[in-house]
Amino acid sequence: MKIQINDLHAEINGLPILKGVNLEMESGAVHALMGPNGSGKSTLSNVIFGHPAYDVTGGEILVDGENILEMGTDERAMLGLFLAFQYPVEIPGVTVGRFLKRAADLHAGEGETKTTGFVKRLREMMDYLEIDQQFINRYLNTGFSGGEKKRMEILQMLILKPTFAILDETDSGLDIDALKIVSKGVNKLRDEGFGALIITHYQRILNHIRPDHVHIMYQGRIVTSGGNELVDQLEAKGYDFIKQEFGIEEEHDVESVTSG
Amino acid sequence: MSSTDVAVFTGTEEIERFVNTLAEPAWSLNVRRKALKQFNAMSWPTTEDEEWRRSDVSSYDFDRYALSPVEAAVPPAGAVPEGRSGLLRFENGRCVAASLAPELAEKGVVFASLAAFLNDETANHAGNGAKAHAAVQGLFERRSGELEHRLFAWHYATWTHGVVLFVPGFVEVEQPFEVQFHFDGDAVLATPHVVAVAETGGRATLLHTVSSGDEGEVLLNEVINADVADTARMEIATHYELNYDSSTFSNGHAVVGRDAAYHSFLSSFGGMFSKLRMDAELNGTGGDIDLDGLYFAGEDQHMDLRTLQVHNAVNANSRTFYKGAVKDEAHTVYQGLIRVAHGASKTDAYLTNNNLVLNNGARADSIPGLNINTDDVKCSHGSTTGKIDGAQLYYLQTRGFDYETARIMLVQGFLEEVIAKAPEAVQDRLRALVEQRILADYDTGDDE
């Protein structure tokens, strides 16, 4: 899968957040998107998925050459895109088992997921991510801790096997053990047919999932891209170095509205 | 009882004539005549009465309904269905199927047509006959003493058939009993009566369904009374599924003893107009009540549900959990009250009502309340009324669910939380009905 984002502009409630994003990604590679709070990272992931609160005011998102901006969220998912949420919602009354089986059926084609095979695979993946089997019968994310919710996102990713996954600050709020497990999940899928965009503030997760490409976002634009060395630079010098290097001035009003 | 068909049932003379045809024990006729007296002294509820404020019955012509003929039918014996301790089925008041597991009959369990039971006071019921009769009589007399509204009084004067479940002390029955009341015809006044008694340490589940044919107006005016003695456990799942021409009036009440537990599960799907009430009183220390409810109103249905948790004893617990969905142009009303009597300290009582409004034009009202007359209690209520959550919808869509599938899943999930509390034997039927109701198209008739 090839994703090309060209001069993407988007706003929420009339407030511009993305101001000309250019980014090219392909399966087979892991990208990291870094940037301070309010730089537009989460907005970018939601615009890729067509979140109804955001208006795209310019530019395009091509997936294998096709503009997806007119597609519904579910159609984009069916292309093989996956979004691991920063704050997964609780869905009371829908068990993890039922939800995952239905979702897996959707992706495999109705009836193609044999229940016995599915349950076996689900149990394997749960073991792999050190998730208690009891969770199969619990309501999705309902009453889960922050770490449990994040692991549930990764479990869904392993079950649905997307061609390209966006992980929106999956690392935030995780202790080191949970972080390792989440990273293990991503690394398990890493191959020619899988790509990912890891959105994060911190280089911590990138020690466990080594990205092939690193992009820095600031004030709604990708200001620079590079390899792993960019992560080390950022770690050593902080985001201020980016500001100086690219002559960026603060826009306090935007930051306070969009942070988080 | 002999056959009768008095046409009009809101006139004193007609009801009296009807009562005079019955060959019941004197106490039962007495209950009817006393109820008739109260009936005469009352008028039909109006929207001036707080309980009926949102459910207007002024357009009803109560004279237009006729009781089904009552027959002194000897219930046919039948085989006990798989997974049940006994089954009773009534069609238009006639008992058409009756069964009770023989080993339970030997233990003195009574599960019978109420009319047949009352007409045979000499039946021994493994030595429990006299006790069972005394319990039923006591419950009838206590409950009909002061009737709160005219429909109640109407019921006690005119009930034609029903069921009695009597579980003797320390008899624990695993499989549920089932009673079905089914009505066909038009302008039918349906007045079944349910009595369920569990003696000390007794334990049973009763599945209770009222249904109708697809067409024809049935006016159901039902009473359910339960007496759950010390340390006993009683579970009653009541299900209303009458057609859209029909009306459902129902009053459930339970008294719960020391360390006893009562669980009521009410599901309401049918009827153009429903006014359903479930009350439970905790009269002994350590008693426990769960009142669960599931309702789903569509088209232009009106459903009014009320619960009452009464704490008369210390250290007792009660929880109400009612969840409803409403679509099309339907209207639901939920009123719930926790009443804690003076001296009922260490009460732990909760009341939760959640409503999901599926479209503009549908409406759900929720009115929870507390009436606490003592200190040292833990009581709370919570009520929500809202639409399908956009964030949940988006989440499911990012997983590939289309809008409609995601919406259905969320409505099902919303109601699943309460379905999971129903007796297992009815859960799948409820899930199927929920799905059917979600998918049902509303034809307003405008284009006909």
Whose tokens are 């009410």? That residue is B266
Q: What is the reported pLDDT for B446?
A: 56
Q: Using a CB-CB distance cutoff of 8 angstroms, which residues of chain A are in contact with residue B416?
A: 92-94
Residue B6 has pLDDT above 70, yes or no: no
For residue B275, give the 3-state DSSP assignment: strand
Residue A260 has pLDDT above 50, yes or no: no
- What is the chain A residue with the closest CA to B397? A74
Confidence of residue B437 (pLDDT cuts 50, 70, 90): very high
The neighbouring-strand residues paired with B265 are B237, B292
Give percent of chain B with pLDDT exceeding 90. 87
Q: What is the reported pLDDT for A255?
A: 44
In angstroms, the CA B278 to CA B300 distance is 23
In angstroms, the CA B413 to CA B391 distance is 15
Rounded to the nearest 10 degrees, what angle do helices B26-41 and B129-143 cross at? 10
Q: How many residues does chain B have?
A: 448
For residues B294-305, give the mean pLDDT: 98
Question: H-helix or E-strand containing A107?
Answer: helix A96-108
State how many domains chain B has. 1
Choose between B65 and B277: higher pLDDT.
Answer: B277
List the domain range (segments joined by +) for residue B233: 12-392
Residue B428 lies in a domain: no
- A74 to B403: CB separation less than 8 angstroms, yes or no: yes
The 10s digit of each residue's pLDDT in A143-186 is 999 999 999 999 999 999 999 999 999 998 899 998 999 999 99
In angstroms, the CA B319 to CA B292 distance is 8
In angstroms, the CA A203 to CA A195 distance is 19
In angstroms, the CA B236 to CA B210 distance is 13
The 10s digit of each residue's pLDDT in B193-225 is 999 999 999 999 999 999 999 999 999 999 999
Residue B48 lies in a domain: yes
- B413 to A93: CB separation less than 8 angstroms, yes or no: yes
Q: What is the CATH number of the domain that holds A221?
A: 3.40.50.300
Q: What is the reported pLDDT for A202?
A: 84
Q: What is the reported pLDDT for A248?
A: 80
For residue B91, give the 3-state DSSP assignment: strand
- A103 to B400: CB separation less than 8 angstroms, yes or no: yes
Residue B230 has pLDDT above 60, yes or no: yes
Size of interface A-B (CB pairs under 8 A): 70
- What is the chain B residue with the closest CA to A141? B392
A91: nearest CB among B390, B392, B398: B392
For residues B248-260, give the mean pLDDT: 98
* Cβ(B184)–Cβ(B212) below 8 Å: yes
Confidence of residue A64 (pLDDT cuts 50, 70, 90): very high
Residue B447 lies in a domain: no
Q: In what order do the strands lie in the sheet with A195-200?
A: A81-84, A164-168, A195-200, A30-34, A213-218, A221-226
pTM: 0.92
For residues B95-101, give the mean pLDDT: 94
Q: ∠ CA A171-A172-A174 to the nearest 5 degrees?
A: 70
Q: Share the mean pLDDT of chain B.
A: 94
- A93 to B403: CB separation less than 8 angstroms, yes or no: no
Q: Which of A100-109, B236-245, B350-359 has the lowest mean pLDDT?
A: A100-109
Distance from CA of B238 to the nearest CA of A (A): 22
List the domain range (segments joined by +) for residue A71: 2-258
The 10s digit of each residue's pLDDT in B31-51 is 999 999 999 999 999 999 999
Choose between B305 and A253: higher pLDDT.
Answer: B305
- B400 to A51: CB separation less than 8 angstroms, yes or no: no
Whose tokens are 């006893």? That residue is B260
Residues 29-58 on A with a CB inside 8 Å of B are: 49, 51-52
Residue B131 lies in a domain: yes
State how many domains chain A has. 1
Amino acid type, B258 = R
Confidence of residue A247 (pLDDT cuts 50, 70, 90): confident
In angstroms, the CA A169 to CA B7 distance is 73
In angstroms, the CA B198 to CA B187 distance is 35
- What is the chain B residue with the closest CA to A49? B398
Q: Using a CB-CB distance cutoff of 8 angstroms, which residues of chain A are in contact with residue B409?
A: 94, 99, 102
The 10s digit of each residue's pLDDT in B114-142 is 999 998 888 899 999 999 999 999 999 99
What are the phi and psi torsion angles at B443 (to 5°)?
-100, 105
Interface pTM (ipTM) of the complex? 0.94
Count Cβ atoms within 10 A of the Cβ of residue B345 and give its class: 0-12 exposed, 13-18 middle, 19 or more buried: middle
Q: What is the reported pLDDT for B71?
A: 61
Residue B418 lies in a domain: no
Residue A253 has pLDDT above 60, yes or no: no
B409: nearest CB among A72, A74, A94: A94
Rounded alpha-carbon distances, angstroms, from residue B286 to A136, B283, B313, B372: 35, 9, 8, 18
Count Cβ atoms within 10 A of the Cβ of residue B176 and give its class: 0-12 exposed, 13-18 middle, 19 or more buried: buried
Exposure b/e, B274-283, CB count within 10 A at least 16 = b: bbbbbbbbbb
The string of DSSP letters for B212-270 reads: E-SSS-EEEEEEEEEEE-TT-EEEEEEEEE--TT-EEEEEEEEEE-TT-EEEEEEEE--
Distance from CA of B404 to the nearest CA of A (A): 11
- A106 to B389: CB separation less than 8 angstroms, yes or no: no
Confidence of residue B72 (pLDDT cuts 50, 70, 90): low
Q: What is the reported pLDDT for A244?
A: 84
In angstroms, the CA A217 to CA A228 distance is 15
Confidence of residue B7 (pLDDT cuts 50, 70, 90): low
In angstroms, the CA A135 to CA A144 distance is 10
Q: Using a CB-CB distance cutoff of 8 angstroms, which residues of chain B are in contact with residue A72?
A: 397, 402-403
Residue B296 lies in a domain: yes
Give residue A7's region: left, alpha or beta (phi > 0; psi -120 to 50): left
Could you give the residue ranges of the DSSP H alpha helices within B4-87?
A: 12-20, 26-41
